[in-house]
Structure 1
Amino acid sequence: MEDIEGARSRLASRPSSLGGRRLDGVFTRYLDHGSKQLTWLRGSLGSATALAGVASEVGDSGMALGILQMTGSRLQAAMFGTLLLATWVDFLQLADALLRDCPMCGTEKLFVDLSRVQGLMEPALKELASMDSERIEVAATEMPELMGKLTHEFDVIQRDARSAMEQGGKVMVAVQVVEMLALISTLKMSLPRPPPSAPAMLGVGLVMTSGGVMAGSRLVVSAEWVEMMRRLVQAGVISLPVVSAAVRIHGGQVMMAQANEALPRGVRESLGDSPEVRGMRVTGRAGAGMSEAPKHHVMPKEHREWFEQRGFKGDMDIDQFCVRLEQAHHEAIHGGGNWKLGRMWPGEWNRTIMKALSDAESRASRVLTRNQVLDIVADRMKFYGVPLKFTKGKSR
């Protein structure tokens, strides 16, 4: 992200040569668009880092894993959001080169071209920035198709520019500009040059090392990276389809259109593709074959202030600690369908969890720490058969 912001800043501050065109005026909105994406991307990574830190401090292993899994949607959003932002900067660098060095290329057409590309990216960026795990997963698995479209758009804009200059008798200049674009753009792959008809790859910058490992400026597809992804998939932090989408994108234009099942067997196996792993991944209610399951707040909403006083704010807000339960299970732990009558039952979830926490504070003669609260909540969840698989609930 620092490299991306550096490139964007250089484009914004680059002076025009001899009064020529540059990315300013009406094009400023496109520079600002990239800056806005950096804000939520940094927030997503910061949130994931904070949650990972909490997970490492919690005593109960089940709760620790549950909190670590909460980082999954943030990591996935950041991984694919950064890729899209890198791609957007690639388009800005292309536009800057054409404005400065291709006088035959119309400013209005270039403005419309960037608007069209931005429109293609906007839905995916909106879904990734939502921080909703189900929406992020859908957006991530659809990314290979989107990257294919964006790669095509880049190639069309570049070809149109070259055609315009050739028609204007600037053949040699056109050739020089195309070569220059290949050098300045992060789209350029350092693999063997593709034939002239092959489109450039977006936001990747792949390099083949001496050991046969494919590495990219946005992602390193190495044995170490694959092993880390495999472990995160097995732990339920990141889903296999999302990792497979990343591999397809970085694997090149041909693999972008392939489904997970079409990946080479060795790749699927190294990522941990198995019935057990596939069963761990989070699915939406449609994928699970059920109607909308209620989200159960494991920390009662009516005691929100109590939990806030013990550190449950921001990324650790009680709305982050919800679990999906079947309707019957949800009603059972709350004492039946009538919540008012249920509250009269000593074993009702809200009553028993608050009693356990209150008793613990009385024995300790002090306010519990956040991690102590989490350990007690984890113990109660296991007793009631509530899975330690958290999802974000409806905020206040």
Structure 2
Amino acid sequence: MQSAVAVRQATLDAIDEVKRSLEGIEAARSQLASRPSSLAGRGLDGVFTRYLDHGSKQLTWLRGALGSATALAGVASEVGDSGMELGILQMTGPRLQAAMFGTLLLATWVDFLQLADALLRDCPMCGSEKLFADLHRVQGKLTPTLADLSSGDAERIEAAATAMPVLMGELTHEFDTIRWGARSAMEVGGKVVVAAQVMELLALISTLNMSLPRPPPAAPATLGVGLVMSSGGVMAGSRLVVSAEWVEMMRRLVQAGVISLPAVSAAVRIHGGQVMMAQANQDLPEGVREALGDSPEVRGMKVTGKAGAGMADAPKHHVMPQEHREWFERRGFKGDMDIDQFCVRLEQSHHEAIHGGGNWKLGRTWPGAWNRMIMDALLKAEKRAGQMLTRNTILRIVAENMRFYAVPMKFTKGRSR
């Protein structure tokens, strides 16, 4: 087991990297929004403003997800119990994954906005109505995945992340269709030299494209490619270029259970240009296995969802009893730290054993006996202290009892009553 300190640092590094990408994307979007129309009155204003607004709306939930993940990492650093610290760091995972892939989609959307702006200004043969319809179609492809990523639901976020390579393949096709359609329109209009100049411009407009080697002219454009880029050395393979620091950061986060291996696999496929490789249950790409250490555990993993992992129907149990919600709220369990965040899944066999005999230790814990036991422990501790327990003290007491009763500190979000 990795040290909680190393995992926390990897989590913070990942958050900072996404923040930097988001800042660059927002700067590019703001620059587009501030540009006046061309002399011909064509630009990203008027009816096109709604597409700029679509990008700005994504910033709200992306910043919220990153802020929430940062706050949880701060709580984890103060709890004073390594097991509970790792458990809380794992709670940052869905938020971090949502922000990572949401930022990638926002970068891609800005690429389309850059493309539209260039065509409106420099391609008079390209009709505004057709370009408006093209952006509407692309927005329709983005919207369902953005809704899943912004939902806060770990299962929807995971499904959206692992399906992203196929979506990015579709978006790449859309980008190139619009780009080459513009060239054809200009050539038909006798603007061959202008067409060549504009195509060269469109190969460079991606706000994040500078991090990758330039593709040959006939290659598809690479969209939103800045997510995994950072300074330092690179690991290069078959069209795979990611920073050495990113590889180590992802290894730590995957091994600690903060980010899922299928999500990392999807990210590497996208950034390696392998956007059409996400068939269900296929082996992970060699580059992913090597980057994560190529251990037997990694070699045995497939790209699979929660159903493939056998946990689709596993019930969730609150480790802090719901009937005492107000008691916990008065002691700091609100917002990102409310008791609904601290649920655990038990496999079906464990659940059956609990309700039908089976393992005596498990049978003592769920549901009623655990509730009585944990509240008894907390109330006695508070009485001894002579004052209201702090949130961190409560977390340490809960962690001690979870270890004693062999309840895994792998938290998932549950539903409130």
Structure 2-normalised TM-score? 0.84
**Aligned 8 A contact 1:15 1:22 in 2:** yes
Distance 1:257 1:291, change over 3 A: closer
| Aligned match of 2:85 | 64
- What are the residue-to-residue correspondences of 1:152-231 with 2, within 5 Å? 152-186=173-207, 188=209, 193-204=214-225, 213=235, 221-231=242-252
Deviation at 1:66, TM superposition (A): 0.7
CA distance in structure 1 between the aligned counterparts of 2:409 and 2:303, rounded to whole angstroms:
13
Distance 1:167 1:284, change over 3 A: closer
1:11 to 32, 38, 41: 32
2:317 to 268, 293, 296: 296
Deviation at 1:22, TM superposition (A): 0.8
Distance 1:279 1:92, change over 3 A: same
Instruction: Provide Cα deviations, 1:353-387, integer angstroms capped at 9, x if missing partner.
Output: 11111000000001111000001111122222221
| Aligned match of 1:387 | 408
One-letter amino acid matched to 2:39 = L
SS at match of 1:21: coil
One-letter amino acid matched to 2:340 = D
CA distance in structure 2 between the aligned counterparts of 1:112 and 1:346, rounded to whole angstroms:
55
| Aligned match of 1:149 | 170
Instruction: Provide Cα deviations, 1:335-369, integer angstroms capped at 9, x if missing partner.
Output: 99xxxxx99x9971111111111000000001111
Distance 1:354 1:282, change over 3 A: farther
Does residue 136 in structure 1 map to residue 157 in structure 2? Answer: yes
Does residue 365 in structure 1 map to residue 398 in structure 2? Answer: no
| Aligned match of 1:339 | none
CA distance in structure 2 between the aligned counterparts of 1:282 and 1:331, rounded to whole angstroms:
28
Deviation at 1:182, TM superposition (A): 2.4
**Aligned 8 A contact 2:165 2:276 in 1:** yes
Q: Which stretches in structure 2 are left out of the alignment for 5+ residues?
A: 1-21, 358-362
- What are the residue-to-residue correspondences of 1:211-360 with 2, within 5 Å? 213=235, 221-252=242-273, 254=274, 256-257=276-277, 261=283, 263-264=285-286, 267-276=288-297, 286-289=307-310, 292-326=313-347, 329-330=350-351, 348-360=369-381
- What are the residue-to-residue correspondences of 1:106-145 with 2, within 5 Å? 106-145=127-166
SS at match of 1:261: coil
Does residue 95 in structure 1 map to residue 124 in structure 2? Answer: no
Distance 1:44 1:355, change over 3 A: same
Equivalent pairs counted in the alignment come to: 385
After the TM superposition, which of the residue ranges 299-308 and 324-333 deviates more from structure 2?
324-333
**Aligned 8 A contact 2:234 2:243 in 1:** no
**Aligned 8 A contact 1:239 1:282 in 2:** no
**Aligned 8 A contact 1:322 1:393 in 2:** yes
2:65 to 29, 36, 44: 44
Q: Which stretches in structure 1 are left out of the alignment for 5+ residues?
A: 337-341
CA distance in structure 1 between the aligned counterparts of 2:311 and 2:91, rounded to whole angstroms:
23
SS at match of 2:344: strand
**Aligned 8 A contact 1:145 1:256 in 2:** yes
After the TM superposition, which of the residue ranges 168-177 and 185-194 deviates more from structure 2?
185-194
Instruction: Provide Cα deviations, 1:226-270, integer angstroms capped at 9, x if missing partner.
Output: 111111111111111111211111112x46526662522x64133
**Aligned 8 A contact 1:189 1:201 in 2:** no
State the Cα RMSD in Å.
Answer: 3.1
Structure 1-normalised TM-score? 0.88
Deviation at 1:156, TM superposition (A): 0.4
Deviation at 1:183, TM superposition (A): 3.0
SS at match of 1:323: strand
CA distance in structure 2 between the aligned counterparts of 1:129 and 1:358, rounded to whole angstroms:
38
One-letter amino acid matched to 2:77 = S
CA distance in structure 2 between the aligned counterparts of 1:50 and 1:208, rounded to whole angstroms:
24
Distance 1:326 1:262, change over 3 A: closer
CA distance in structure 2 between the aligned counterparts of 1:32 and 1:346, rounded to whole angstroms:
48
After the TM superposition, which of the residue ranges 175-184 and 307-316 deviates more from structure 2?
175-184
CA distance in structure 2 between the aligned counterparts of 1:333 and 1:108, rounded to whole angstroms:
63
